[in-house]
Chain A
Amino acid sequence: MNDKTKTKTSSISKDKKIEKLVFWLFLAPALFSFLMVQIIPFMIGIYYSFTNWSATAQISIDFVGMKNYFDAFQDPSFLYATIITSIYTFMNIILVNIIAFSLALLVTSNLKGKNIYRAGFFLPNIIGGIILGYIWQFIFNQFVPKLAAAVGFTYLSENLMLGNSNTAILALVIVSTWQYAGYIMMIYVAALQNVPKDLLEAAQIDGASAWQRFRNVTIPLVAPAFTVTLFLTLVNSFKQFDVNASLTNGGPSTMFMGKAIKGTTLLAMNINDTSIISLNTAQAQAKAIVFFLVLVTFSLIQVYVSKKREVEL
């Protein structure tokens, strides 16, 4: 630092102040909308979960303490939804990522027309989940049985995929993989293209086999992408609603704790049912808060674990 800059400090601090003001002014609209449509409704939601709020014409909203939370945990359908959502999420994370990564490897190799493949694999992601659900409903109900009958695979022609809750969950996994794998693939493609060629060549010169290059160079370098994709698939599978609603509508039923219960109702749909069918808006709100906490916990653990595996170049 020389003398010249010292004399300028006062004007710099004034510039800084204006800069700060401009910064906050530019931020203000975004901050304002974030506050209005995210933070405040979220706080109100937390408040409602402790009351008997019904969202309809009622005389007063009374504070009921933890009642909604206790009721939610005693509801077998909520317990079942939590279990089935965890199973669904687990299967979905594995399947989506394996398929997406394989596709990414395929479309980054020296394949002819790979851009067409990239677009093609990505396309299902652009179709809305509701429409997708109806299309696949037709495939599972009409096409699969006929195809199975034609090739002589009688199990599938006599038992409909959507007619039994175990296979219906599988059907959900298939459809959401079909929808989501292309999107995740794009993230892997970007990561794979960023793997420096010189490192791979250096490894090759050192005598590493194709598998060793893949295992010890490519995989560690795309680890940051795994953090992102695992996070995205985890959160998206957990929040699954639209395909669930249009493909299986929460059914078919199954037996759970001695009672017939809707067999493919995932958590988001269970919350929706609590509000729409049971007309218990406050309890639905409490379930949503529990859902939020579970999701945050799972995703923080996942990000923490995945981050540890990343390497810096």
Chain B
Amino acid sequence: MKKIIVFISMLLVLVSLTACAPKEAEQVVITFKQNKPEIDDALQAYAKAYEAATGVKVNAVSCGGGSCTLGDMLKADYAAGEMPDIFPIDGPDSYKQWEAIIADLSGEDWVDETSVEYVVDGKVVGFPVAVEGWGMAYNADLLAKAGIDPKTLTNYAAYMDAFVKLDGMKAELGIDSVVSMTAGPGMYWVTAHHNFNSLLSNGLEYNDLTVANNILAGNIDDTRLNEYADWVDLLFKYADKTVLTTGNYDSQVGAFLNQKAVFLHQGNWVDGNLTDATFKMAFAPHGSSTSDTDGIFVSAPAWYVVNKDSKNYQAALDFLNALVYSDLGQKYMVEDAGMIPAFGNISLQPKGQLSQSVQAWTAEGKVYSWNQYLFAGEFRDNVLGPIYDQLAQGAVTADEFKALLKTALMEAK
């Protein structure tokens, strides 16, 4: 009796094992990983539509935000021999990590349609995910009420005057603070990544890296640094202390959405969080200089790269091409995912007010590049971030902040 039971159970195990094996003819499946969890719904719908149209199954995975770290996921995938066919990189740090398996895409058609592709040594390797921009997002209604013309906000003095005026009208405007800014733990990307870029690129030609390269070479322009540090001090002084020192993304954007702050130090990706907004808004330039800097910071936030060892290499290239050239792909990128397209042949427009503002600045050619990526992520997160945090807490004075910043930059690699 026992033997029979053992025999039957072994048989069952065998049957269940063979049941797992694929039966039908091999369908082409590409794995696509990306780091914007907010567009996952749109992406999944697009993957289904793409499979219906082309027969290629897209296994799309979103990993990002607070709950998932794409870098970790990719390492695990790599160790398991399941590296995705398409995945994003966000700058030199992640490019170097995967350099050995990233394909050269110089021959692709879409290269001619964009100006923000990722180029290494003359080779195009990255497909721009979208165009993003940040500046000082402002509540146009509140500014109009206070009688301030946003067009004048192009330098430090203009911002200083505007902040003082708005601060004096707090009760009248119903605001808690002038600026919604964060510098606390977990938000170092706002200060040490985005704000820091004002020092490196504000007022310069697009892709002019002289200031950044000079800092890396140990030549710091004291005037520029001091003007920049004053700008940081001004932003912090007129920010709500709770949001500034302990706030997270939600509390920062929430203050702007609920009209508790006139300015928001963020980029156009907040559009998704501001769909309930009842007021008009747009971007104004940063005032990190005493001279006029009439433009905002615009670039591609990440680039899709193709795994050159992929079994479905051609299918992966076709997938990227379809994003640029098919109606389905264009509609997904712009209308469903709400991204600003990085390609000239796409005429669709995103719905978000701030995204439209980024497009308007780009159309006028008033844009400055993102040069902060020349500095390692470790330097920005572990060295610069805590320094901004010290000023935000009021633990150091503006002068001490300047000194700390300078010492750190001298040691920057």
Contacts and interface: CB of A to CB of B under 8 A. Distances in A.
Interface in A38-61: 54-59
Interface stretch (B18-26, B57-65, B94-102, B165-173): B94-102
Given A255-B395, A260-B390, A279-B377, A141 B246 contact: yes
Chain B at the A interface: SS class: helix
Interface in A238-291: 248-255, 259-264, 273, 276-279, 281
Interface stretch (B67-75, B224-232, B268-276): B67-75
Contacts of A172: none
Interface stretch (A18-26, A85-93, A147-155, A159-167): A159-167
Nearest to A168: B185
A153 B48 CA distance: 58
Counting chain B CB atoms within 10 Å of each CB, the highest count among A250, A259, A277 belongs to: A277
A176 interface: no
B99 to A, nearest CB: 7
Contact of A253 (B74, B99, B387): B387
Given A54-B97, A164-B393, A253 B245 contact: no
Interface residues of B, number: 38
Contact of A163 (B93, B98, B383, B393): B393
Given A160-B246, A164-B393, A273-B382, A252 B184 contact: yes
A77 interface: yes
A279 B381 CA distance: 12
Interface in A119-156: 137, 140-141, 145
Contact of A59 (B100, B393, B408): B100
Contacts of A54: 97
A252 B71 CA distance: 24
Interface in B381-396: 381-383, 385-387, 389-390, 393, 395-396
A55 B75 contact: yes
Contacts of B245: 160, 162-163, 252
Given A57-B100, A260-B389, A261-B386, A251 B404 contact: no
A262 B192 CA distance: 14
Given A77-B382, A163-B245, A255-B395, A279 B93 contact: yes
A284 B93 CA distance: 17
A262 to B, nearest CB: 6
A252 B185 contact: yes
Counting chain A CB atoms within 10 Å of each CB, the highest count among B93, B101, B242 belongs to: B242
Contacts of B242: 141, 145, 160
11 contacts: A56-B78, A59-B100, A163-B184, A163-B246, A163-B393, A251-B185, A251-B188, A252-B246, A254-B386, A254-B390, A261-B386
Interface of B: 69, 71-72, 74-75, 78-79, 93, 97-101, 184-186, 188, 241-242, 245-248, 377-378, 381-383, 385-387, 389-390, 393, 395-396, 404, 408
Interface of A: 54-59, 77, 137, 140-141, 145, 160, 162-164, 248-255, 259-264, 273, 276-279, 281
Given A145-B242, A252-B389, 7 more contacts: A137-B248, A140-B246, A248-B185, A251-B186, A253-B385, A260-B383, A262-B185
